[in-house]
Chains A and B, each alone.
Chain A
Amino acid sequence: MSDWVDVCALDDVDEEDVIRFDHAGRTFAVYRDEGGAPFCTDGLCSHEQVHLADGLVLDDEVECPKHNGRFNYKTGAALRAPACVALVTYPARVEGGRIQVQV
């Protein structure tokens, strides 16, 4: 299992929002849900190479900004075409007021 990687301060991500996080040549999307808990998925939509961090978080879902495909960012499941392939999800946690992900 890989090490935990520091992303940002908890307050850098609003509740029910998403930011882009680039690490080791890869890009991820880091979310907080309505309750403030952090989550992490692949950063690019599985339909086309579009950053999900520019999309919209609604409840447990993120909507791709280009074609309105939707995913459950907690499970990675593709929910709405043209998104058909699930996102890979990664463990996320809050430690000392900072979000960390295991990627």
Chain B
Amino acid sequence: MAVTSTNARRDYSLTGPESARAVALGLASAEWYHTEVPRKVMKDLMRRNDAVATRDTAIWLGLMALSALGGVLTWGSWWSVPFFAVYGVLYGSACDSRWHECGHGTAFKTQWKNNWVYAIASFMVMRNPVAWRWSHARHHTDTIIVGRDPEITLMRPPDITRKVLAFIGIPNVFQDFAVLARQAVGRLSPGEAEYIPESEVAKVTCWARIFVGIQAAAVLAALLSWSFLPLVLIGGPRIYGTWHMVLVGLLQHGGLAEDVLDHRLNSRTVQMNPISRWLYWNMNFHVEHHMFPMVPFHGLPRLHELIKDDLPRANPSIAHAYREMVSALLRQRHDPGHYVRRDLPPGARPYRMEFHGEDALPEVK
């Protein structure tokens, strides 16, 4: 079902009037809807292990090493293209899901493993590991609440050209590097200062310096060797291999409601092929993840089966989800209030009006 609400252009910054509005309306740090799951079942779903993530990480890093080796050995010939096509996606796309799951601390049972993979993946995806831990905590507190959530990627009206360019990392990779460079000199943006505690700023700076230093070393190596190869190996995959991260990432919340307190209205679960599922570490079960962020990626399919009768029907494919999302985005260009309201199956608990008073939340009617 498609819905139109307000047409007003909104301010997505964390320091503008929308932020104060969200707080005034009770949308900040609010109580969110979640499907009832018996405690014993949830405890079983939340259970951690090292086995699955260790296996996947060994495959991930192993494939990266092999594809990089193949690319280096065939460098200068067309044979290097398939090797770097694989390497690029493993580096420039799979890094996002590893960053995400290890940032939650749920991928591995052993925390040092989460921390190490989180740091490596943060470097690959060009995100400051400290700053983004706080950013993502805010994203979970205030998911797609305008003026509160720093991770809203599809603002209305959407800039579709820019989102198409994102598939080749333009201009994101340069913006992300510029953010790291700014943080490396100890400066936070006003938005970052909203959600990063003062006590963490030194750590933000330290990690930014390490990351900028490694990227600068890759640039220096390219200049000294007068070859693109160092940049194809380090940093470059965020351009030529980032397409899968963007492909699946845009579907998480794209075209859905803003300013609601029910993840069934602002998040999307999409059935995907097994390769995308592996690269994405099951984040296609995105409603389930937001409702229960304690459930590790390998428990999400089971959680989906358990609660799917209380959720909108999952999109059956990436293509299906794109048809739904793109249609909404095209309309949002001239009707920013438009969004896709996803129908609930019979028997599901209805969207709770006490969470979404019509005066406060015009998007839910």
The verdict on A67 contacting chain B, using a C-beta distance below 8 Å, is: yes
- Per the 8 Å Cβ criterion, residues 69-108 of B in contact with A are 104-106
B281 to chain A, nearest CB (A): 15
Give bound CA distance, A65 to B290, whole Å.
11
**In the assembly, what is the distance between CA of A47 and CA of B141, in Å?**
11
Q: Can you list, as one digit per residue, whether each of A57-101 has a CB less than 8 Å from chain B (1) or not (0)?
A: 010000101111010000000001110100000000000000000
Question: Chain B contact residues: over half helix, strand or loop, or mixed?
Answer: helix
Main secondary structure of the interface of A (DSSP, over half): loop
B227 at the interface (CB under 8 A from A): no
- Residue B10, interface by CB 8 Å: no
Cα separation A38 to B141 with both chains bound (whole Å): 31
The chain A residue with its CB closest to the CB of B139 is A67
In angstroms, Cα B31 to Cα A49, docked, is 10
Chain A residues with CB under 8 Å of B199's CB are 84
Query: Which residues of B sit under 8 angstroms from A11, Cβ to Cβ?
Result: none
Residue contact A66 to B141, C-beta cutoff 8 Å: yes
* Least CB separation from A57: chain B residue: B43
Name the one of B109, B134, B140, B141 contacting A81, with C-beta atoms under 8 angstroms: B134
Asked if B46 is at the interface (CB within 8 A of a chain A CB), the reply is: yes
Cβ–Cβ contact B137 & A67, under 8 A: yes
On whether the beta carbons of A81 and B43 are closer than 8 Å, the reply is no
Chain B 101-122: CB-based contact to A (< 8 A → 1; otherwise 0): 0001110010100000000000
Q: Bin the interface of chain B by size.
A: 20 to 34
If A66-B141, A67-B141, A80-B105 touch, whether A56 touches B46 (CB-CB below 8 Å) is: yes
Interface residues of B in 158-180 (CB under 8 A from A): none
Task: Select A56's contact among B134, B140, B294, beta carbons within 8 Å.
Answer: B294
Residue total for A at the interface (Cβ-Cβ under 8 A)? 17
Contact of B141 with A68 in the complex, beta carbons under 8 Å: no
Chain A: CB-nearest residue to B109: A58
Q: Does B133 contact A (CB under 8 A)?
A: yes
Q: Is the CB of B104 within 8 A of A68?
A: yes
Inter-chain contacts of B134 with A (CB < 8 A): 81-82
State which of A49, A63, A82 has its C-beta within 8 Å of the C-beta of B137: A82
Across-interface contacts of A42 in B (CB, < 8 A) = none
> Contacts A63-B294, A70-B105 hold; do A80 and B43 have CB atoms under 8 A apart?
no
B-chain residues with CB within 8 Å of residue A70 when the two chains form the complex: 105
Contact B293 A63 (CB under 8 A): no
Residues in chain B within 8 A of chain A (CB atoms): 29, 43, 46, 48, 104-106, 109, 111, 130, 133-134, 137, 140-141, 197, 199-200, 292-294
Top 10 nearest A-B pairs (CB, nearest first) are A82-B137, A67-B137, A56-B46, A68-B105, A68-B104, A65-B294, A81-B133, A56-B294, A48-B29, A67-B140
Can you spell out 24 A-B residue pairs with CB atoms less than 8 angstroms apart?
Answer: A47-B137, A49-B29, A55-B294, A56-B46, A56-B48, A56-B294, A58-B48, A63-B105, A65-B292, A66-B140, A66-B141, A66-B293, A67-B137, A67-B140, A67-B293, A68-B104, A68-B293, A68-B294, A70-B105, A81-B130, A81-B133, A82-B134, A82-B137, A84-B199
